[in-house]
Chain A
Amino acid sequence: MAEIIRLRKGLDIRLLGTPAKEITQVEAAGQYALCPDDFTGVTPKPVVKEQQKVKAGEALFIDKNNPEVKFVSPVSGEVVAVNRGARRKVMSIVVKPDAEQSYVEFGTKSVQSLSGEEVKKALMEAGLFGFLRQRPYDVIANPNDTPRGIFVSAFDSKPLAPDFEFVLQGNELDFQTGLSALAKIAPTTLGISAKQTNPTLTQAKNADVYAFKGAHPAGNVGVQINHISPVNKGEVVWTLDPEVVIFIGRLFNKGVVDMTRVIAVAGEEIAKPSYAKVLVGASLASILDGRLNRNEHIRIINGNVLTGVKASKEDFLGAFANMVTVIPEGDDVNEFMGWIAPRFGHFSVSRSFFSWMCCKKQFSIDARIKGSERHMIMSNEYDKVFPMDIFPEYLIKAIITGNIDKMEAYGIYEVAPEDFALCEFVDSSKLELQRIVREGLNNLRAEMA
């Protein structure tokens, strides 16, 4: 049995709209798109033009700084739009799928016979390398680095997140192949939840398995790395989502890029929260049509409530999104004298509310900030939900003041914005911590380049 690491800090936000463990059929989307912004740290350069025909697995854009890192189309069809934003920045490349799908054949390969370099090359060719992220900086991995290790977290502890054991059903073989392929590049570590029992996870081959027990953010790969072997200055580790391990396995087992994934469609405003089998980049309208409780005053989130981005039905499923959440927006709510009213039914970590009394209840939480931004007042708020050997408050202050030496000393190389999501949720000063950390990482990366 894997070593069990128990985390005492953290918080499970009990949100309404847990997905039922069944797959609801979703019609094929009319359009698919890849948004370069999903791949943090990439300078996109489109390699297709409008009206051009592409196959599934053919590059749509490449990274200007590392042209061998390609980002490929999830479907075969016709490029209908290369959308650009301010200063001609590429916002999305939209593909209209063919009725009959055709794939670029990469050829099946036996992972055992490949070297690390060959695996890397295969991933770059097939456009899956772009799904690997690196610490420090939490950006897309650089193929020229030699990582100290590769870390995969096989469970997502964020609110309403999909159960990976359910997602894994039928993909066990591909998952193991993916892990074996990654192990060729660098020693691979798999972080599982102590509750998971699927032998593909608990007895995974070619990977060190650690089990984590505790509330969110136990499933965050950054937290797991911090407890297994923290990232030091000068070191690089790669991280990836477990679904991507399945994509990698499929590439070697079937010889094609098949980015079909099972996502959760959850949240209070979804009529029947459940799972759906979709392709990366599917239009959100195809996933959500007919499933929403109402069409106004709702917030559609590409991803989960903590790290996901606000989206609309016209947007496309994010490259890293393992779920779509729909919650009330709350812009039509006017709460009278909220500072003194008892406000039953509100979720809070503070005992000045009464949510701690109803320990089993699920709560309706809308997108309101419920306060306004202040300087940091309360101490120790972040620490309670930040299970890493880091002083989050001091790191944030170092980032705000732009003090590079202090950022390094306080451990910025070990963190990603998502690690601060829970801090941002509980923060009574309502600071935008994830944005602050992202800017800090970007500045540091520019400084170190």
Chain B
Amino acid sequence: MSLRNYLDKIRPNFDEGGKLHAFRSLYEGFESFLYVPNTTAKNGVNIHDSFDSKRMMIMVVIALCPALLFGMYNVGYQNYALAGMLDQATFWNKFWFGFLAVLPRLIVSYVVGLAIEFTVAQWKHEEIQEGYLVSGFIIPLIVPATCPLWILAVAVAFSVIFAKEIFGGTGMNFLNVALITRAFIFFAYPSVISGDSVWVVDHTICGLGANLDGMTAATALGTASTTAAAPAFTMDMVWGFIPGSVGETSVIAIALGALLLLYTGIASWKTMLSVFIGGIAMAVVYNQWGPDNAMAAMPWYEHICVGGFCFGAVFMATDPVTSARTECGKWIYGLLIGAMAITIRVMNPGYPEGMMLAILLMNCFAPLIDYCVVQKNVNRRASRLVKK
């Protein structure tokens, strides 16, 4: 196998004392990307399951693909729709327009994030951890397609360093890295991620699309939080032909990803289901007894179809690192995320997207929930001793 031989040949350059030693983590990252490491067990069990964190992360990335591809198409669709040129644009016009709008954000997210990952890995003499493969893919999906690249780069750098690396890397962070990126933009540069003017790309790209002079489109949640009546529920909200962050609009595309995650068992069905239960229950409660505003009057099915509710429930709440880790804890964690997301939407019109804050808040509480669940087991053990 010539590639294998080539890798073996260049390896000495990356070892201690080699002239490319500074890129050792890069070499190892690519080697293990190309070939499954054939190191064998030295102690402990002599056989291992074939499943590893690389496989896990790539499954999540595959699950995210429908949302990304549809998101690209929708970015083009929204531009042409707002310009009133839908009938003149072909499918591929819309898709390529969205592709060209989203791709730079995907590249910036990966380049900035992975550069930090590689540097830290090299510095700590560790292997590169795969966690950012997923975070880096999610980040462009949860920001508007108009988000300036430099802001995205700053936000990614901030979250990778301060939400993950300072805690010790993937598996040690207690806050979802992708959400911290979004939250950073949300609080530091609110004008690029909220309001009416950011959700549709308003200029042509490589001759595709249309220039929209001052024409804007609000998201459903934006409308509901600023006007007396929420927009009526339409099937477009399910298919995803509405303005919003790139990947969050299509319930169908997200559902495809959800199926893969649940089927492979990588995401917990308990967390996912309980987020929906919590959200639906809370929406029904506000319908009945809520304050007199459009958001409270919004029916539950509209609540879960618009904004980032589905995307958050499927891809963010189920992040195994930052969610509750005990089975019982997952139910509590999910229910509270769902309920909290709707509550923030209804009670605080300043933050119409409640999902991000709800998940980050519950990320902080997940260890407490787990503590209570584990403590029950501890108490049971202690009481056994007392009974004796």
Contact segment of A20-28, A93-101, A187-195, A305-313: A305-313
Smallest beta-carbon distance B375→chain A, Å: 9
Question: Contact mask A295-329 → B, CB, 8 Å, 1/0?
Answer: 00001010001111110000000000000010101
Known: A375-B169, A375-B171. A351 touches B264 (CB 8 A): yes
User: Max chain B CB contacts within 10 Å: which of A308, A349, A351?
Assistant: A351
List chain B residues, Cβ under 8 A from A330.
Answer: 38, 40
User: When the two chains form their complex, are residues B41 and A367 in contact, meaning their CB atoms are under 8 A apart?
Assistant: yes
User: When the two chains form their complex, are residues A368 and B39 in contact, meaning their CB atoms are under 8 A apart?
Assistant: yes
Choose one: B50, B53, B57, B263; the contact of A351 (CB below 8 Å): B263
Q: How far is the CA of A377 from the CA of B168 in the complex (A)?
A: 13
Is A107 in the interface zone, CB < 8 Å from B?
Answer: no
Known: A233-B385, A330-B40, A428-B56. A353 touches B47 (CB 8 A): no
Choose one: A305, A346, A376; the contact of B45 (CB below 8 Å): A305
Choose one: A307, A309, A350, A430; the contact of B48 (CB below 8 Å): A430
User: When the two chains form their complex, are residues B264 and A369 in contact, meaning their CB atoms are under 8 A apart?
Assistant: no
17 contacts between A and B (CB under 8 A): A159-B47, A299-B40, A310-B41, A334-B35, A338-B35, A339-B57, A348-B50, A351-B264, A352-B59, A367-B40, A369-B41, A374-B129, A375-B169, A409-B378, A427-B49, A428-B53, A434-B44
Known: A230-B384, A368-B38, A428-B56. A379 touches B44 (CB 8 A): no
With both beta carbons as reference points, the residue of chain A lying nearest to B378 in the complex is identified as A409
List chain B residues, Cβ under 8 A from A348.
Answer: 49-51
Given contacts A350-B50, A369-B41, 4 further A-B contacts (CB under 8 A): A337-B33, A370-B37, A372-B32, A427-B48
Pairs A-B, 4 closest by C-beta atoms: A375-B171, A371-B52, A338-B36, A379-B325
Interface size class of A (residues with CB under 8 A): 35 or more
User: When the two chains form their complex, are residues A349 and B35 in contact, meaning their CB atoms are under 8 A apart?
Assistant: no
Known: A334-B35, A352-B264. A393 touches B46 (CB 8 A): no
With both beta carbons as reference points, the residue of chain A lying nearest to B4 in the complex is identified as A334
User: When the two chains form their complex, are residues A353 and B51 in contact, meaning their CB atoms are under 8 A apart?
Assistant: yes
Choose one: B52, B266, B327, B381; the contact of A409 (CB below 8 Å): B381
Is B203 in the interface zone, CB < 8 Å from A?
Answer: no
Is A365 in the interface zone, CB < 8 Å from B?
Answer: yes
User: When the two chains form their complex, are residues A389 and B380 in contact, meaning their CB atoms are under 8 A apart?
Assistant: yes
Q: How far is the CA of A233 from the CA of B383 in the complex (A)?
A: 11
Q: How far is the CA of A369 from the CA of B388 in the complex (A)?
A: 44
Question: Contact mask A333-368 → B, CB, 8 Å, 1/0?
Answer: 111111110010011111111000000000001111
Interface residues of A (CB under 8 A from B): 13, 15, 159, 230, 232-234, 299, 301, 305-310, 325, 327, 329-340, 343, 346-353, 365-380, 383, 389-391, 393-394, 409-411, 421, 424-430, 432-435
List chain B residues, Cβ under 8 A from A306.
Answer: 45-47
List chain B residues, Cβ under 8 A from A349.
Answer: 49, 51
Is B250 in the interface zone, CB < 8 Å from A?
Answer: no
With both beta carbons as reference points, the residue of chain A lying nearest to B375 in the complex is identified as A409
Q: How far is the CA of A327 from the CA of B52 in the complex (A)?
A: 21
Known: A310-B42, A334-B38, A433-B44. A377 touches B50 (CB 8 A): no
Known: A352-B264, A367-B41, A389-B380. A377 touches B170 (CB 8 A): yes
Is B188 in the interface zone, CB < 8 Å from A?
Answer: no
Smallest beta-carbon distance A343→chain B, Å: 6
List chain A residues, Cβ under 8 A from B48.
Answer: 368-371, 424-425, 427, 430
User: When the two chains form their complex, are residues A350 and B51 in contact, meaning their CB atoms are under 8 A apart?
Assistant: yes
User: When the two chains form their complex, are residues A305 and B388 in contact, meaning their CB atoms are under 8 A apart?
Assistant: no
List chain A residues, Cβ under 8 A from B44.
Answer: 421, 424, 432-435
With both beta carbons as reference points, the residue of chain A lying nearest to B370 in the complex is identified as A394
With both beta carbons as reference points, the residue of chain A lying nearest to B169 in the complex is identified as A375
Q: How far is the CA of A15 from the CA of B266 in the complex (A)?
A: 25
Is B196 in the interface zone, CB < 8 Å from A?
Answer: no
List chain A residues, Cβ under 8 A from B384.
Answer: 230, 232
Q: How far is the CA of A435 from the CA of B43 in the complex (A)?
A: 8
Is B368 in the interface zone, CB < 8 Å from A?
Answer: no
User: When the two chains form their complex, are residues B320 and A383 in contact, meaning their CB atoms are under 8 A apart?
Assistant: no
User: When the two chains form their complex, are residues A352 and B55 in contact, meaning their CB atoms are under 8 A apart?
Assistant: yes
Residues from 244 to 280 in B contacting A, C-beta threshold 8 Å: 263-266, 268
List chain A residues, Cβ under 8 A from B374.
Answer: 391, 394, 410
List chain B residues, Cβ under 8 A from A346.
Answer: 50
User: When the two chains form their complex, are residues A372 and B37 in contact, meaning their CB atoms are under 8 A apart?
Assistant: yes
Smallest beta-carbon distance A367→chain B, Å: 4
Choose one: A327, A370, A429; the contact of B171 (CB below 8 Å): A429
List chain B residues, Cβ under 8 A from A350.
Answer: 49-51, 55-56, 264-266
User: When the two chains form their complex, are residues A377 and B53 in contact, meaning their CB atoms are under 8 A apart?
Assistant: yes
Q: How far is the CA of A411 from the CA of B384 in the complex (A)?
A: 12
Q: How far is the CA of A340 from the CA of B41 in the complex (A)?
A: 23
Smallest beta-carbon distance B365→chain A, Å: 16
Is B326 in the interface zone, CB < 8 Å from A?
Answer: yes
Q: How far is the CA of A427 from the CA of B51 in the complex (A)?
A: 8
User: When the two chains form their complex, are residues A380 and B325 in contact, meaning their CB atoms are under 8 A apart?
Assistant: yes
Is B377 in the interface zone, CB < 8 Å from A?
Answer: yes
Q: How far is the CA of A13 from the CA of B384 in the complex (A)?
A: 34
